[in-house]
Amino acid sequence: MSKLRIAVAGASGRMGRMLIEATLKDGEVVLGAAFDRPGSPAVGKDAGDLVGQPCGVQVLDSAETALKQADCLIDFTRPEGTLEHLALCRKLGVAMIIGTTGFDEAGKAAIRDAAQDIPVVFAPNMAVGVNLVFKLLDVAARILNQGYDIEIVEAHHKHKIDAPSGTALRMGEVVAHALGRDLKECAIYGREGVTGERDPSTIGFATVRGGDIVGDHNVMFCGTGERVEIAHKAGSRMPYALGSLRAARFLAGKKNGLFDMQDVLGLR
């Protein structure tokens, strides 16, 4: 059987480079194509040169040409780019792994719609450890369901453009769902000035941005006389890339459908 051909969008980005490295090291898949935006300095270079491992696959500036050489696209770019690539994947029948965060409701609806025709894994965090944390949070919130104030603190590198992180938002959704609340109605994004006492029905978010922090998340259940903290710290982007490749293998042979990493890891 021929190996699964992976295409990488945003090839020269932080995740693009990590995905190329992980794909080249993986014995079960091959790098079918890599592409970047027209005008990117990476276009025309050997994709493997971006990670010090020449491979003979040139970085293209046409997503459509690249996707014709792939079975599955892994996309960690920006919402507007991902949605353009999604339309092309739908047209060409290419499976898609979406790691990009920061979509608005219309963007999420477009992903759900496309998944009627192609298989898609869409997850704010592909790391196995973070997906375990989602499960732990569900258990914790159901047990600590009264008398505990919930605060979610995340920290990322200075280049990150969206806040709170997609992962922090998903953590909030998991906790809110376990408590029978709607995150849209109970989230508090930052505080300033005379805020008054804390409303116990809220879930608070705090964001730190600086340096080269890969990604830290800490969910605090603050009670009276005790505090439970469930945290994950990423020291490298490799877990996101390895999770994405696991997701690509999970989609192989599927005709359509929308999945996330809980499906991929059998945690649903």
Ligand X SMILES: NC(=O)C1=CN([C@@H]2O[C@H](COP(=O)(O)OP(=O)(O)OC[C@H]3O[C@@H](n4cnc5c(N)ncnc54)[C@H](OP(=O)(O)O)[C@@H]3O)[C@@H](O)[C@H]2O)C=CC1
The site map against ligand LZUJQKHR for 201-230 (x = CB under 6 A) is: --------------x---------------
For every residue of 72-85, DSSP letters joined together read EEEE-S-HHHHHHH
Residues 150-179 binding ligand LZUJQKHR (CB under 6 A) are: 156, 160, 165-167
Residues 50-89 that bind ligand X (CB under 6 A): 76-78, 80-81
Compute the least distance from the CB of residue 177 to ligand LZUJQKHR, in Å.
18
Helices 105-114 and 79-92: crossing angle in degrees, nearest 10, is 20
Q: Which candidate in 85, 160, 217, 232 is catalytic?
A: 160
3-state DSSP of 25-90: HCCCEEEEEEECCCCCCCCCCEHHHHHCCCCCCEEECCHHHHHCCCCEEEECCCHHHHHHHHHHHH
As beta bridge partners, residue 145 has: none
From 189, 201, 135, select the one nearest 165 (Cα to Cα): 189
Contact 205, 164 (CB under 8 A): yes
> Closer CB to ligand X, residue 23 or residue 77?
77
**Binding-site partner at residue 156 among ligand LZUJQKHR, ligand X, none, CB < 5 to 8 Å by type:** ligand LZUJQKHR
Contacted by 76, from ligand X, ligand LZUJQKHR, none: CB < 5 to 8 Å by type: ligand X
Q: Does the annotation count 135 as an active-site position?
A: no
Q: Which of 23, 77, 82, 125 binds ligand LZUJQKHR (CB under 6 A)?
A: 125
